[in-house]
A = this chain, B = another copy of it.
Amino acid sequence: MKNSIGRQVPDYLEGYGAVRPFTGAFQTFPDMLRQAPTVKMRRPADRKIAKSLEDVFRDIPVRDGMTLSFHHHFRNGDGVVNMVLATAARLGIKGLTVALSSVFPVHAPLLEHVQNGVVTGLDTNYMSGPVADAVSRGVFSRPVIMRTHGGRARAIECGQLTIDVAFIAAPAADDYGNINGVAGPAACGSLGYAIPDAEYADFVVAVTDTLCEYPLSPVSIPQTRVDYVVKVDAIGDPKGIVSGSTKVTKDPVGLKIARTAAGVIKAAGLIKEGLSFQTGAGGASLATAHYIGQMMEQAGVTASFAMGGITSYMVDMLNRGLLRKITDVQGFDLEAVRSIGTNPNHIEVSAGTYANPFNSGCIVNKLDTVFLGATEIDTDFNVNVTTSSSGMIMGGSGGHSDAAAGAKLTLIVANLLRGRLPIVKDNVLTATTPGETVDVLVTERGVAIHPSRRDLWEKVTAAGLPVKDIHELKQEAEKIAGTPQAVKTGDRIVAVVEYRDGTVIDVVRQVAE
């Protein structure tokens, strides 16, 4: 069958189950109760410190076929996923599903566990590196589930991703399981992505290299939800947190795109007292924030808050008074880590508070604007941030679809050509974020506005910005680079791309070898 944006999705998929097709960004309503874990009890004399991960595995006990969850706050510096899976392998456990909020190159050892049958399922919001390559080539027999950051929180809270054991890499913990991310040698800042896991998993294990005196504070995850505390030598390398670009671009084309994007935001009337925005960590997104900051200073206004993965650039805006608050689900560099530990206006928020579409209201709903990247965008404004031009998985939504759905004004900032290929296509290879939630495409050769936003078209045109039809941008790109050949993929579905509400917006097929 085809879903509402015309993507071919099966009715049923072996290893995934019945497919609920995507029907629109706000067309699927919750019809369930919240996940209800078994109620527990601890007597005063009970202790939570376990000697080793092996002891925890035996005590729970971890069995074949369970789902183990992990957060990705250490990004490419994580040490806990590999450590826990090595323990599972040593104990001969098979058929585990790994629910890891994002997968990085450091997680390459996962593949050995897949080959040995220790791990047979993967549930994640983003992946890059060897695991992503192997998924694209079909290493898992069950399709991998790719979610959004808000969608993962939703799936956990709504009982669609049930976690048997959450292993939480804890930069600091006390002996009774209070956890935070701001102390210890591997401080990673916000622990936002681990909070739903801790709230709803059947068992919660804090894995820490820094045991602090009870009661630890501040508390990101409270003792009431943590069953075991395991001290290990090191939980990760905080240097690995900084991965990918977290600096304002110096590329003149990128800067031009960013200036134009800021101009669109101004034309939309959003450079006003109390504005709010989210930016990704990419160079062009950060450059857009830079120009917005300049415009705010010129206009003498300040922002009520900025959301997102947080970089030093946002922290600097907070310290200069351009931002009144930062809401932080994830630190992208060590400045962000330091700031959240010391500045009360830099606030930790959970993945659910950030972006879960199925609660009484998440933060993305309050965003004025967000500027995001794209690998491809089609003439219906559907965006691909999941697969590359060769069809390999190289990302995933993360918070892309969430912020796009929530913000009043969503901009995609991107070079018209990516490598030598036009980014505007008739059809994206993989639809990650639906076009109805995207308002503007900003490129170095012009600005395309979604046809539903006639109001915006008028304002941006009146501001003298180079507005073009998206088909025109596509033709310009093809004039330079030629019409790209359609990517050939295999037939087998290797990943299901779930929209934030749990419907299937697309599938990823195995790359053709």
Contacts and interface: CB of A to CB of B under 8 A. Distances in A.
Interface of A: 26, 29-44, 46, 48, 157-158, 176-177, 204, 213-215, 217-219, 222-227, 274, 304-305, 324-325, 327, 344-345, 347, 349, 352-353, 356-366, 405-408
Output the residue of A34, A37, A225, A408 with the most chain B CB within 10 A.
A34
A234 to B, nearest CB: 25
Q: How many copies does the complex hold?
A: 2
8 contacts: A26-B43, A30-B41, A33-B36, A39-B358, A176-B366, A218-B347, A223-B363, A224-B352
Given A35-B36, A344-B217, A347-B217, A226 B363 contact: no
B406 A214 contact: no
Given A44-B405, A224-B353, A224-B356, A366 B215 contact: yes
A358 B41 contact: yes
A214 B360 contact: no
Given A42-B359, A215-B366, 11 more contacts: A30-B41, A33-B37, A35-B36, A39-B158, A39-B358, A44-B408, A46-B361, A217-B347, A219-B347, A224-B356, A227-B360
A357 B42 CA distance: 7
Q: Is the interface of A mostly helix, strand, loop or mixed?
A: loop
Nearest to A32: B39
Nearest to A204: B360
Nearest to A31: B39
Output the residue of A41, A304, A361 with the most chain B CB within 10 A.
A361
A223 B357 CA distance: 13
Contacts of A157: 39
Contacts of A158: 39
Contact of A213 (B304, B347, B364): B304
Nearest to A26: B43
